[in-house]
Amino acid sequence: MIEHEHRLRVRYGETDQMGVVYHANYLAYMEEGRTRLMHSRGCSYAELERSGYGLAVRRAAMRFRAPALYDEELLVHTRVDRVRGASVNFVYRITRATDGTLLCEGETELACIDLRTTERKPCMMPESVRRDLGE
Amino acid sequence: MIEHEHRLRVRYGETDQMGVVYHANYLAYMEEGRTRLMHSRGCSYAELERSGYGLAVRRAAMRFRAPALYDEELLVHTRVDRVRGASVNFVYRITRATDGTLLCEGETELACIDLRTTERKPCMMPESVRRDLGE
Amino acid sequence: MIEHEHRLRVRYGETDQMGVVYHANYLAYMEEGRTRLMHSRGCSYAELERSGYGLAVRRAAMRFRAPALYDEELLVHTRVDRVRGASVNFVYRITRATDGTLLCEGETELACIDLRTTERKPCMMPESVRRDLGE
Amino acid sequence: MIEHEHRLRVRYGETDQMGVVYHANYLAYMEEGRTRLMHSRGCSYAELERSGYGLAVRRAAMRFRAPALYDEELLVHTRVDRVRGASVNFVYRITRATDGTLLCEGETELACIDLRTTERKPCMMPESVRRDLGE
């Protein structure tokens, strides 16, 4: 599958007293990566929610290889790993833009939920989304 | 007016590479302080929202006196400064628990909004909330 | 191994527009859980850093079972899964305090690093920390 | 003084359950704005810290005019309000990129501190920084 690349710059508040990016912030970088991947395929997550569907993170995993520093430019490489009827898996590689060093590898599984029910039940993804995310 | 005191402990992710609490996190500490003040007066902000009213921050100001460090216990001293029909002002002093050092002074103005309208128009605060927050 | 229990309350800023806790915040809850477990065993992570050692998150994984809501009290159940010479694994279960519902399961692997070297090389954990974390 | 403009996009995790950007995140947007203003004048805050000087936020104030939504593009308009020997004031206007609606006005006062002293004493700003930030 084709990999999407998103560039971002580390903010000061994303560092911690060890002088590197606090690990939880990589989940936000990964979220930004998949949002932009979807945008690039003509699929807006914001609009998806307005139409009554959400993609809720059900599972997340990360492996940290090297630290990212304040003000560094990072590349978030995102690709769709697998699309099923009611869920989708994304995988990520985050690298330092200047030299390509691998900083973090991650993956997330997202389940489609029906935002119009108060219980937010799992449901099938709209056909158009599966098409946009699939190959 | 009577001051409410809430104790919390600085989390690692709340520090930045300067080795101190990142300034934006004090707004979260202040939010926690006023939520607990409301709780202590029998007024739950969570229930207020469920009943259709929100309190939106319209103005915030902070003065930073000394840095807070990771794992330190802080005291958030909160009091209601002024209650009007459709808004309320809180003032805060955040101190280090061990020695009382003043770390941050703040104030916020919150406006009551009607969560049942899509425009979220300003509205009068429910009488019960004004009573709980007033003297 | 003995499980440590830490109670916390969800902050407003930790929710997202889906009306539930944003998934990245569970990593902060887990961090708070393991810090308190260490405290309860007479081992302060803050002091560990001051003595020149850090514990850096090398791997993290989470499975989300049910959403947490604003102002809910959560219990973070933390236990040491495995202690090796230069790293330690923690596992976590986060439950809703009122009814025990399982919200999130997680695990993290932390590697000991030498904060006195600029490269922050992996190193053996101080003997006292291994003893405090071990059974 | 000349205003600097920085464009950013609201992340999902920056919203709260009211469906809008949580107020504390505007401080991070303002921080990003002034970092980019400094970059645009050939002055890197990251390098400033490496050379032993920090700019610590001493005062911050914000007025919220209208809410920002997830995935919206915002413009952070930053300008230097006043440069003194040991401190500098920035003012900010954050607008919605599509229609120019004013969302937030803010200001911050930053004091120069000496990072090579453990007490991080206030100190004069390096001459080059004052020149870059001044008119």
Strand partners, D78: D4, D92
Taking the alpha carbons at both ends of chain C, their separation in whole angstroms is 7
Which amino acid, residue B124?
M
Nearest to B31 among C12, C32, C46 (CB): C12
How many other CB atoms sit within 10 Å of the CB of residue C77? 17
Q: Which residues of chain B have pLDDT under 50?
A: none
Q: Are B91 and B25 in contact (CB under 8 A)?
A: no
The answer to whether D2 contacts chain A (CB < 8 Å) is: no
pLDDT at residue A110 above 60?
yes
For B20, nearest residue in chain A (alpha carbons): A17
Average pLDDT over residues C67-72: 98
- Specify the DSSP element, H or E, that contains C62: strand C53-64
- String of DSSP letters for chain A: -PPEEEEEE--GGGB-TTSSB-TTHHHHHHHHHHHHHHHHTT--HHHHHHTTEEEEEEEEEEEE-S---TT-EEEEEEEEEEE-SSEEEEEEEEEETTT--EEEEEEEEEEEEETTSTT--B-PPPHHHHHHH--
Q: How far is CA C18 from the centre of its chain?
A: 25
Interchain proximity C13–B35, CB inside 8 Å: no
Interchain proximity B58–D57, CB inside 8 Å: no
Q: pLDDT tens digits, residue range A52-77?
A: 999 999 999 999 999 999 999 999 99
Which amino acid, residue B80?
V
Interchain proximity C16–D16, CB inside 8 Å: yes
Average pLDDT over residues D7-36: 98
Q: Which residues have C-beta within 8 Å of that of residue A39, sequence separation ≥ 6?
A: none
Q: Which residues have C-beta within 8 Å of that of residue B32, sequence separation ≥ 6?
A: B6, B8, B76, C11
pLDDT at residue C123 above 80?
yes
**What pLDDT is stored for residue B135 in this prediction?**
57
Return the beta strands (E) in B24-64 as ranges: 53-64
Residues A28, D12: Cα–Cα separation, whole Å: 8
pLDDT at residue C108 above 80?
yes
Phi and psi of A62, rounded to 5°?
Answer: -145, 145
The SS3 call for residue C27 is helix
Supply the DSSP symbol for C122: B
Residue with tokens 């004493």: D121
Q: pLDDT tens digits, residue range D47-75?
A: 999 999 999 999 999 999 999 999 999 99
pTM of the model: 0.97
Strand partners, C111: C56, C87
When the pLDDT of each residue in chain D is averaged and rounded to a whole number, the result is 96
Query: How many CA atoms, within 13 angstroms, populate the side-chain half-sphere of residue C96?
Result: 16
**Could you report the predicted ipTM of this complex, rounded to two decimals?**
0.96
pLDDT at residue C135 above 70?
no
Residues C80, C89: Cα–Cα separation, whole Å: 6
- Catalytic, C81? Answer no
SS3 content of chain C, % helix, strand, coil (to 5): 25, 40, 35
- Bridging pattern class, strands C53-64 and C4-9: unpaired
Interface A–C counts its CB contacts (< 8 A) at 54
In chain D, residues 47-106 whose CB comes closer than 8 Å to chain A: 49, 69-71
Q: Which of A52, A26, A37, A50 is nearest to A88 (CA)?
A: A37
Phi and psi of B122, rounded to 5°?
Answer: -60, 145
Give C22's contacts in chain D (Cβ within 8 Å): 12-13
Interchain proximity C56–A24, CB inside 8 Å: no
**What pLDDT is stored for residue C4 in this prediction?**
97
How many other CB atoms sit within 10 Å of the CB of residue B4? 20
**What pLDDT is stored for residue B1 in this prediction?**
65
Chains that touch B (3 or more CB pairs under 8 A): A, C, D
Q: pLDDT tens digits, residue range C19-40?
A: 999 999 999 999 999 999 999 9
Interchain proximity A28–C25, CB inside 8 Å: no
Give D30's contacts in chain A (Cβ within 8 Å): none
Interchain proximity B31–C11, CB inside 8 Å: yes
Interchain proximity A44–D71, CB inside 8 Å: yes
**What pLDDT is stored for residue C2 in this prediction?**
87
Return the beta strands (E) in chain B as ranges: 4-9, 53-64, 73-83, 87-96, 102-114
Give D70's contacts in chain A (Cβ within 8 Å): 46
Chains that touch D (3 or more CB pairs under 8 A): A, B, C
pLDDT at residue D135 above 90?
no
**What pLDDT is stored for residue A2 in this prediction?**
87
Q: Which residues have C-beta within 8 Å of that of residue B118, sequence separation ≥ 6?
A: none
pLDDT at residue C127 above 90?
yes
For B45, nearest residue in chain C (alpha carbons): C71
Q: Are B46 and D18 in contact (CB under 8 A)?
A: no
Domains in chain C and their CATH numbers? 4-133 (3.10.129.10)
Give D68's contacts in chain C (Cβ within 8 Å): none
The answer to whether C12 contacts chain B (CB < 8 Å) is: yes
Q: Are C23 and C62 in contact (CB under 8 A)?
A: yes
Residues of D with active-site annotation: 16
Residue with tokens 């090389």: C121
Interchain proximity A64–C59, CB inside 8 Å: yes
In the set A16, A71, A81, A114, the catalytic residue is: A16
Average pLDDT over residues A76-85: 97
Q: Which residues have C-beta within 8 Å of that of residue A105, sequence separation ≥ 6?
A: A62, A63, A65, A91, A92, A93, A94
Residues C111, C55: Cα–Cα separation, whole Å: 5
For C68, nearest residue in chain D (alpha carbons): D17
Nearest to B24 among A13, A16, A17 (CB): A13
Q: Put residue D104 in one of left, alpha, beta given phi > 0 → left and psi -120 to 50 → alpha.
A: beta
